[in-house]
Amino acid sequence: MISKYLVCGAGGFIGGHLVQSLIDEGHEVICADIKPYEYWFQLSEECKNFSLDLKNYDNCLMVSKDVDYIYNMACNMGGMGFIENNKAECMLSVLINTNLLRACVENKVKKYFFSSSACVYNESKQNDTFVEGLKESDAYPAMPEDGYGWEKLFSERMCRHFYEDFGIETRVARYHNVYGTYGTFDGGREKAPAAISRKIITAKNSKKDFIDVWGDGEQTRSFMYIDDCIEGTKKLFNSECRDVLNIGSEEQVSINQMISIIEEIANYEVKKNYQLDKPKGVRGRNSNNDLIRSELNWDTKISLKKGLEKTYSWIENQIKSNLNNNKFTKSY
């Protein structure tokens, strides 16, 4: 059945891919993002597009009028360097979620999706490098990442209480380090897979034999390719499951191991200049997918190496084409 969707944060990385997926299914899609259109990563002429600030309630009310469903992917975020140095800006994203939920009540929206993050998890469970996957219950007692993590955890509770108090059907996913094509790879907001790919491509092109690495490279994460993210997101949204669920990969690697994979893809080896004074985040983080497998019979399909091959190739082509005037390298 054809439905009318509002995708908030449609000009960003995950939002842009989600919009294309919904269009491919034949749905009517309204897109909203704070960025000017020239900064949108993917801009579809098939959609009604709005460049506006969703921290403003009247804007939320206007763009959600007569829509059936809302996906909220909008927030002020980036890689570790950005969220470590912009905590207040990250926390202001709570206004987006709050005002969209209020608009859902006013406009009688059928269902609302909130994109949360693995940054909500208690930091005391992430002090070692190779850790057990984080279960959804590990978010409590609460001690999330300062700033960004607190905003996400608070917004999760807002979703729960808007369901309890107003009957708004809400779905919440905790994303674990999503990466892939059509995302930022320079400018300060990029995440590790894109940043390391760019550094190795640049080193190879300039015949440099080293790259800078934040920390000692032994910190670990799991990384989920964007196609898996979109599939898992829609699976949760279309389900009857009201539980908060991890959507992530269980393939945990150190940053040094990821560098080795990208070196193999590039056919180019580099030395590592470790920068121990740079933001590093928690020591180790991994997803536990037991609950989503049980509830939705879903798991990731794309290996890290396969996803990095696609990402590396895309970034390499972007660098070849127009690095100096590229919306994927400029922070807005």
Catalytic residue among 148, 182, 225, 312: 148
Asked if 297 and 236 count as a contact pair (C-beta separation under 8 A), the reply is: no
| 155-194 as b/e: b if 16+ CB within 10 A | bbebbeebbeeeebbbbbbbbbbbbbbbbbbbeebbbbbb
Q: Kindly state the tokens that stand for 253.
A: 């690697």
Closest CA to 60 of 34, 37, 40, 28: 34
Beta bridge partners of 254: 220
Asked if 179 and 307 count as a contact pair (C-beta separation under 8 A), the reply is: yes
Q: Which helix (H) or strand (E) holds 246?
A: strand 245-247
Separation between Cα atoms, residue 172 and residue 18, nearest integer Å: 15
Separation between Cα atoms, residue 277 and residue 168, nearest integer Å: 45
Q: How far is CA 276 from its chain centroid?
A: 25
Tokens 């121990």 identify what position? 276
Asked if 68 and 4 count as a contact pair (C-beta separation under 8 A), the reply is: yes
Beta bridge partners of 7: 31, 71
Beta bridge partners of 304: none
Tokens 């597009």 identify what position? 49
Closest CA to 244 of 149, 172, 302: 172
Any catalytic annotation for residue 225? no
Separation between Cα atoms, residue 19 and residue 30, nearest integer Å: 9
- As annotated, the active-site residues are 148
